[in-house]
Structure 1
Amino acid sequence: MAKNTGASKFRKVNVDEYDEENFQDNEDADVGVVGPNENEVSNFLNQSKNVEALKAVLQNPPQGCKDKRLKDKVVQVVVRVLSAFKTSDIEKGVNALDSQSLDTLMKYIYRGFEFPSEGSSATLLSWHEKVYAKGGSGCIIRVLTDRKTL
């Protein structure tokens, strides 16, 4: 038989705090300059410096931004940069990136599939293959489990 201890501390827990419907994400509120510099990226592409354009477009991703139009615009710029590479030069571009940039690139690749255009899916699949070869499964897992979306 259970003893009546008179303990009532458990009654002071606010169970609504753990409700999934009331979840509030605490994203970073310090959003300064967001997104890559399009002029700089365009200059690199015009000069056929594709690797530098790739690095420039991955420098400042709009992860904390809530403006969907800005994020969509940045994804289109990234897809434009990825499409500028020849298939034989993709591996050289991937090898020039560090692991954090690879994760960001993988996020852009997945977001690029949301905006299919003529030949973009084939290009994105080629990039996905090369990024996976360098970054491994961990790159994909980090992208899929990250709460900060692009």
Structure 2
Amino acid sequence: MSQINYRTINIDVLDPESSVNFPMESLLPATLPAPGTSSDAAGVASEVRQLLRSGDAEGALRHALDTAPLAGDDRAKEVHLATVIEVLQGIRQGEMLRVLEGVCGGSGGSERADCLMKYLYKGMAAPAQGNGAQSPRRGISPQSTGFSQIQPRNVGEGGSGQQMSVLLNWHEKLVEVAGTGSIVRVMTDRRTV
């Protein structure tokens, strides 16, 4: 009788639920939109700004979420993220719930809610712009107490702190409207914004 080294057996081949037994490209939907470019995202941004100027915040948010560049290049995704954040910052806190119910209700509402949740998380993860966080100063050492006096300016006064506050407020309202299932779907979805 021969000796079998059980540590070398590939058990994924034996498991019918394993990713080895089905193609990974089947995980992405067949209806993935065509790749977008940064010029496409800039055109969408101007349309969204026009809707915002006309006072249709719900329509602006709906249009921004419906035209998300899921298969676009990185620059297009950055431009679209800035557009969505601009829309979110342009809506007053008292109108948030009404706008979310309008955007997330009806046909395609859950997909829009999931897309908005993706943008909220991406906005929270994005490095703050304009506060010096990307280029730390060299040559300045921390104090002997272990605490450093180096910090970005305007953190709570209109800098990235204000943007984070807006995103967290939207996250709270979106969870009220869409539920926690949206968070799980966003964390497991392979399509990124």
Q: Shared fold by TM > 0.5? A: yes
Deviation at 1:39, TM superposition (A): 2.1
**Correspondence for 1:44 among 51, 68, 92:** 51
* Runs of 4 or more above 2 Å deviation: 24-30, 32-36, 115-118
Greater shift, 138-147 or 47-56, is seen at 47-56
> Which position in structure 1 is the counterpart of 2:16?
none
Mapped to 2, the partners of 1:93 and 1:84 lie a distance apart of 12
Matched AA of 1:63? L
Give yes or no for the alignment of 1:110 onto 2:121. Answer: yes
**Correspondence for 1:122 among 143, 165, 179:** 165
Mapped to 2, the partners of 1:111 and 1:128 lie a distance apart of 12
Matched AA of 1:54? L
Give yes or no for the alignment of 1:79 onto 2:82. Answer: no
Unaligned runs of 5+ in 1: 3-9, 19-23
What does the per-residue CA deviation read over 1:89-137, in whole Å, with 9 as the maximum and x for residues that have no partner?
0101110121110000000111111143351100000100011111111
CA-atom RMSD in angstroms: 2.8
TM-score (norm 1): 0.77
In structure 2, the CA distance between the partners of 1:84 and 1:53, relative to structure 1 (3 Å rule), is: same
TM-score (norm 2): 0.61
Provide the secondary structure at the position in 2 that maps to 1:119.
helix
In structure 2, the CA distance between the partners of 1:64 and 1:42, relative to structure 1 (3 Å rule), is: same
**Correspondence for 1:101 among 99, 108, 112:** 112
- Bigger fraction of residues in helix: 1
Greater shift, 30-39 or 77-86, is seen at 30-39
Matched AA of 2:182? C
Mapped to 2, the partners of 1:30 and 1:48 lie a distance apart of 29
> Which position in structure 2 is the counterpart of 1:138?
181
Provide the secondary structure at the position in 1 that maps to 2:164.
helix
Q: Percent identity?
A: 30
Unaligned runs of 5+ in 2: 3-9, 14-18, 129-159
